Chain A
């Protein structure tokens, strides 16, 4: 268990660093930070409200350290004040509404890309002298390294605008009431195909190459030759013998991919007008709603850290040696 405890304390430190970054940001801006941060709120909030919000962000009399402590308190009590853009609504409420959609996109596409990529990588390593092994990995390397924004724009244009196959905005059809109905779930999936598809395209090559390279190392081992000599089917050798051992180094790459996936989700949401954090982030940037921008960054960091911890748990389950 000491492994998981070590990881937890690491994530906690990382989160504290993110908070400090957020605390320092407005203080790095030219001019008076309070004026700049709430410039867009002039006329919306009355002076008493303004003072309350200032205190939450630590803009009060006292040393920098006292301000810092006050800010940390507000963060841990989830007390981040109202959004400037959507005035009386709280920043945390706005962020809470869109976070599930971003998690859905980021983690959903990561898992699908992982499954498809690992399967392709396994097969490509097994058939690396044939057409599949020669053609598919370079082809995917080429496709996957288009910038996120470009893949999203190309899919948006060809499948959405030209062929009119799939919807181009929203997370589900606004005419349908949200609920556990087939119609609603179908609509959600249909609206997710294009944004998720573009993220899967970008993410897939990492897994193909990680898996293929790990497999090529494993395929040289004696127990694989032994399994082949016993006359086991190539499917069994490929997935049950070699694949299971090759997956370990691939699993360590998941941690790094989580951050990438969230970043990709932010960009993709903007292109497809998907109602997640990325979309709100852009609106917040355009309206100069700094409290909202900061809250989004904090929630993104905590989502990524949590997902990383889950990946750690998964890794312990895959390889019990690590927890000792």
Chain B
């Protein structure tokens, strides 16, 4: 047994490689179809790529050490300091790159936590129904009805200045209900479909039904919810940072806003200290929203507009002709 596995790995069969290539090509075609004739997806994807590359290569792209005093206070943008300097003489360009790492990782981490909880609660509640559903639905609705951000602000105020990891966890465990609600209703809709019933009749285990039969049908909704949570978490992190409730010694877009506010940079004419992190946040939020919208169109073809819609109508007409409906 052991032998056959090693021999298999040592001598890859060409047939496998071509299968892998086929998969790659299929994935590539899907990606191309997603962006083709879809300007929002192209713009959003392009912006997000630039932002992610900037965050990834922050140490290489930074012109100065973001944590050190490298200029005079509030120097205007120049060749040496592309986006000017802060009140404390930090280089804004290097800070915004460094801040992207912190802000995006907090938002992604919170998004992952929230999505995991949302999927577990939503699918369990939707699939099992009964008492479990009643209780989980109640918890979801209670969380939904509370004003989340004020709750977080108060919590952070009582805990004192909290580190970004704590903020990410707090955001993650409070922002799952939106996703859970959508996933639950979609699970309810799928549960009564024939393929689930036939799987049940065949005696498949409940775990297998959830993981293999239900989850793959929820992917676009789950991913859409994930992106929505990331947008929300980024805004909330910026808000907490701006209010001075985050750790102001860490460089993030939120803490940059805080220091810009403390030094009243807008009033003294040093707009770059405030507007650079603000615009970075705005572009990231907007780009993610465009991607999210395009995913919506893929999962629900009815929502398509423009060239996408025309293409869909053409394909639909051809299909109808094949079926002999027209």
Q: Is B145 an interface residue (CB 8 A)?
A: yes
**Residue of A whose beta carbon sits closest to that of B286:** A142
* Highest count of chain B CB atoms <10 Å: which of A14, A209, A304: A14
- Determine whether the beta carbon of A263 is less than 8 Å from that of B148: yes
CB under 8 Å from chain B, chain A span 248-300:
255-256, 259-260, 262-263, 266-267, 270, 281-282, 285-286, 290, 293-294, 296-297, 300
CA distance A21 to B151 in the complex (A): 10
CB under 8 Å from chain A, chain B span 233-257:
234-236, 238-239, 242-245, 257
Q: Is A45 an interface residue (CB 8 A)?
A: no
- Choose among B145, B150, B238 the residue that contacts A308 (Cβ–Cβ < 8 A): B145
CA distance A169 to B158 in the complex (A): 28
Q: Is B309 an interface residue (CB 8 A)?
A: yes
Given A17-B142, A157-B266, verify A138-B147 contact (CB < 8 Å).
no
Contact with A along B110-151 (1 / 0, CB 8 A): 000000000000000000000000000010011011111111
- Determine whether the beta carbon of A147 is less than 8 Å from that of B39: no
* Highest count of chain A CB atoms <10 Å: which of B138, B158, B231, B236: B158
CA distance A213 to B182 in the complex (A): 15
Q: Nearest Cβ distance between residue A14 and chain B, in whole angstroms?
A: 5
Stretch of A46-54, A66-74, A128-136 lying at the B interface: A128-136
- Determine whether the beta carbon of A14 is less than 8 Å from that of B243: no
CB under 8 Å from chain A, chain B span 170-213:
178
Q: Nearest Cβ distance between residue A9 and chain B, in whole angstroms?
A: 11
Stretch of A24-32, A177-185, A191-199 lying at the B interface: A24-32
Q: Which residues of A contact B231 (CB under 8 A)?
A: 145
Q: Nearest Cβ distance between residue B11 and chain A, in whole angstroms?
A: 51
Q: Is A115 an interface residue (CB 8 A)?
A: no
CA distance A291 to B244 in the complex (A): 20
Q: Which residues of A contact B146 (CB under 8 A)?
A: 14, 18, 259, 301, 304
Q: Is A167 an interface residue (CB 8 A)?
A: no
- Determine whether the beta carbon of A143 is less than 8 Å from that of B149: no
Contact with A along B273-308 (1 / 0, CB 8 A): 011001101100111111011000000101101100
Q: Nearest Cβ distance between residue A108 and chain B, in whole angstroms?
A: 17
- Determine whether the beta carbon of B289 is less than 8 Å from that of A281: no
Q: Which residues of B contact A18 (CB under 8 A)?
A: 146
Q: Which residues of B contact A286 (CB under 8 A)?
A: 244
Q: Is B76 an interface residue (CB 8 A)?
A: no
- Choose among A10, A153, A209, A256 the residue that contacts B278 (Cβ–Cβ < 8 A): A153
Q: Is A13 an interface residue (CB 8 A)?
A: yes
- Determine whether the beta carbon of B293 is less than 8 Å from that of A281: no
Q: Is B157 an interface residue (CB 8 A)?
A: yes
CB under 8 Å from chain B, chain A span 187-240:
205, 209, 212-213, 216-217, 220
Q: How large is the interface on A (under 10, 10 to 19, 20 to 34, 35 or more residues)?
A: 35 or more
Given A26-B158, A266-B153, A282-B243, verify A128-B305 contact (CB < 8 Å).
yes
Q: Is B154 an interface residue (CB 8 A)?
A: yes
Q: Which residues of A contact B242 (CB under 8 A)?
A: 149, 267, 270
- Determine whether the beta carbon of A262 is less than 8 Å from that of B147: yes
- Determine whether the beta carbon of B144 is less than 8 Å from that of A149: no
CA distance A286 to B286 in the complex (A): 32
Q: Which residues of B contact A145 (CB under 8 A)?
A: 231, 285-286, 288-289
| Residues of A contacting B: mostly | helix
- Determine whether the beta carbon of B154 is less than 8 Å from that of A297: yes
Given A128-B309, A147-B238, A148-B235, verify A259-B302 contact (CB < 8 Å).
no
Q: Which residues of B contact A270 (CB under 8 A)?
A: 242-243
**Residue of B whose beta carbon sits closest to that of A147:** B235
Q: Nearest Cβ distance between residue B185 and chain A, in whole angstroms?
A: 11
**Residue of A whose beta carbon sits closest to that of B155:** A25
CA distance A296 to B158 in the complex (A): 14
- Determine whether the beta carbon of A149 is less than 8 Å from that of B288: no
CA distance A285 to B240 in the complex (A): 12
Q: Which residues of B contact A29 (CB under 8 A)?
A: 158-159
- Determine whether the beta carbon of B157 is less than 8 Å from that of A293: yes
- Choose among B239, B266, B271 the residue that contacts A148 (Cβ–Cβ < 8 A): B239
Q: Nearest Cβ distance between residue A49 and chain B, in whole angstroms?
A: 23
Chain A positions within 8 Å of B, measured between CB atoms, are: 10-11, 13-14, 17-18, 21, 25-26, 28-29, 128-129, 133-134, 137-138, 141-151, 153-154, 156-157, 161, 205, 209, 212-213, 216-217, 220, 255-256, 259-260, 262-263, 266-267, 270, 281-282, 285-286, 290, 293-294, 296-297, 300-301, 304-305, 308
The 29 sampled A-B contact pairs (Cβ below 8 Å) are: A10-B138, A11-B145, A17-B142, A21-B151, A25-B158, A29-B158, A129-B306, A134-B305, A141-B40, A142-B287, A145-B285, A147-B235, A147-B239, A148-B235, A148-B239, A149-B235, A149-B238, A150-B285, A255-B145, A256-B144, A260-B147, A263-B148, A263-B149, A266-B149, A281-B153, A285-B243, A300-B150, A304-B146, A305-B145
Sorted nearest first, the 3 A-B pairs with minimum C-beta distance are A147-B235, A263-B149, A145-B289
Starting from the known contacts A263-B147, A301-B146, 15 additional A-B residue pairs (CB-CB under 8 Å) come to A13-B142, A14-B146, A129-B309, A134-B305, A142-B289, A143-B286, A145-B231, A146-B286, A150-B238, A150-B278, A263-B148, A285-B153, A285-B157, A296-B150, A305-B145
